[in-house]
């Protein structure tokens, strides 16, 4: 390469460096449009605030009970949950069962309300507490009776397991001298389980236990208590010599289809029994001794006779 060629190349390269140096000072980025950027930011902030206010207003208008819940799996989308109306009992509460045809009926869903946490539940009507016996006296008597028998009959349970369906005066006889009162308590398990406690002077003097599992297989829709004779008769030893007047009572179980039960005893007319949570309870007074057991009849909602103890082969019509 000759000197001239080298000089010419050197001159070109130097010129290019000079031009590039000039461009480094000449070419510079345009200043940022600060006022425009600030104005845009303020507008965006106002838009977001307005949007948030609209969302809050919309949420405030939605009922509290309605809300969206994300679905548990990817393909389900969302489910809608809403509050349910509170349940109500038409026509009253468990503590105030309704009446049908003048006969009080209790709910079959469990014991009637009214008992304390450590005591039995109340009967369906106050009319099942007879002869001036208060519920407190009946409850205390039942508890005392169960306590006295608890050591030998563990399945009896506690007083709180029961509902009292009857409390009535008891007349002493040669087999069990001394007047007092009966308390009939029932519980749901086992089915048709009941106790009849005899109370004298606040002390349990005897107990009778029975349950539906002792009934024969061919029982009807009304089942008079097969072991309830102590409520309507005096001892065989006193046959012909009963103490009068005599408070009698009859109890038994009924099917839900039965809406009326009547009980006749002696010369008196039929007594309308109280229907209490699957039990019937009837009571009256005798002024003379009888030889036939109470006559029990049951009727359905149409008034049709569906049970008659006179045609029940399992019912003992004649007193011993």
Per DSSP, the three-state class of 48 is: helix
Percent of the chain with pLDDT over 90: 48
Residues 234, 264 contacting (CB under 8 angstroms): no
Residues 125, 273 contacting (CB under 8 angstroms): no
Domain that holds residue 234: 103-311
Helix (H) or strand (E) holding 139: helix 135-149
Task: Supply 190's token pair.
Answer: 């086992």
In a domain, 125, yes or no: yes
Per the structure, how many domains does the chain have?
A: 1
pLDDT tens track for 119-148: 999 999 999 999 999 999 999 999 999 988
pLDDT at 209: 92
Segment 296-310 mean pLDDT: 98
Segment 268-277 mean pLDDT: 96
pLDDT at 129: 98
- Cα distances (Å, whole numbers) of residue 264 to 225, 237, 246, 259, 269: 15, 24, 15, 17, 6
Q: In what order do the strands lie in the sheet with 193-200?
A: 163-170, 180-187, 193-200, 203-210
Helix (H) or strand (E) holding 193: strand 193-200
In a domain, 138, yes or no: yes
In a domain, 66, yes or no: no
Evaluate if residue 308 carries a pLDDT over 90: yes
Please state the pTM of the whole predicted model: 0.65
In a domain, 71, yes or no: no
Q: How far apart, in whole angstroms, are the C-alpha atoms of residue 312 and residue 315?
A: 5
In a domain, 35, yes or no: no
The answer to whether the Cα torsion of 297, 106, 224, 166 is positive or negative is negative
pLDDT at 203: 87
Percent of the chain with pLDDT over 70: 62
14: confidence class by pLDDT, cuts 50, 70, 90? low
Evaluate if residue 72 carries a pLDDT over 90: no
Q: Rank 55-59, 94-98, 178-182, 273-277 by mean pLDDT and report only the highest.
A: 273-277
In a domain, 18, yes or no: no
Q: How far apart, in whole angstroms, are the C-alpha atoms of residue 293 and residue 280?
A: 16
pLDDT tens track for 139-196: 999 999 998 887 555 679 999 999 999 999 999 888 888 899 999 999 988 889 999 9
Segment 94-117 mean pLDDT: 39
In a domain, 41, yes or no: no
- Cα distances (Å, whole numbers) of residue 241 to 61, 228, 233, 246: 82, 21, 12, 12
In a domain, 22, yes or no: no
């Amino acid at each position: 390469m000759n000197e001239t060629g080298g000089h010419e190349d050197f001159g070109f390269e130097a010129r290019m460096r000079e031009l590039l140096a000039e461009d480094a000072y000449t070419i510079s980025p345009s200043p940022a449009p600060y006022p425009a950027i600030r104005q845009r930011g303020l507008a965006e902030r106002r838009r977001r605030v307005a949007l948030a206010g609209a969302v809050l207003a919309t949420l405030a208008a939605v009922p509290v009970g309605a809300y969206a819940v994300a679905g548990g799996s990817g393909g389900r989308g969302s489910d809608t949950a809403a509050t349910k109306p509170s349940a109500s009992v038409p026509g009253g509460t468990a503590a105030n069962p309704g009446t049908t045809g003048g006969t009080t009926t209790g709910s079959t869903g469990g014991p009637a309300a009214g008992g304390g946490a450590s005591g039995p539940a109340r009967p369906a009507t106050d009319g099942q507490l007879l002869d001036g016996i208060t519920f407190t006296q009946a409850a205390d008597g039942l508890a005392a009776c169960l306590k006295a028998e608890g050591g030998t009959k563990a399945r009896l349970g506690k007083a709180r397991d029961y509902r009292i369906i009857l409390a009535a005066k008891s007349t002493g006889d040669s087999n069990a001298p001394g007047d007092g009162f009966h308390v009939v308590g029932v519980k749901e398990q086992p089915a048709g389980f009941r106790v009849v406690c005899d109370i004298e002077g606040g002390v349990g003097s005897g107990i009778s236990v029975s349950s539906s599992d002792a009934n024969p297989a061919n029982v009807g829709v009304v089942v008079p208590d097969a072991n309830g004779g102590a409520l309507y008769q005096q001892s065989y030893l006193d046959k012909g010599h009963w103490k009068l007047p005599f408070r009698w009572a009859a109890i038994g179980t009924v099917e839900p289809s039965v809406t009326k039960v009547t009980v006749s005893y002696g010369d008196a007319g039929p007594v309308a029994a109280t229907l209490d949570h699957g039990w019937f309870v009837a009571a009256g007074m005798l002024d003379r001794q009888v030889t036939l057991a109470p006559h029990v009849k049951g009727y359905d909602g149409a008034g049709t006779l569906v049970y008659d103890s006179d045609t029940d082969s399992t019912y003992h019509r004649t007193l011993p």
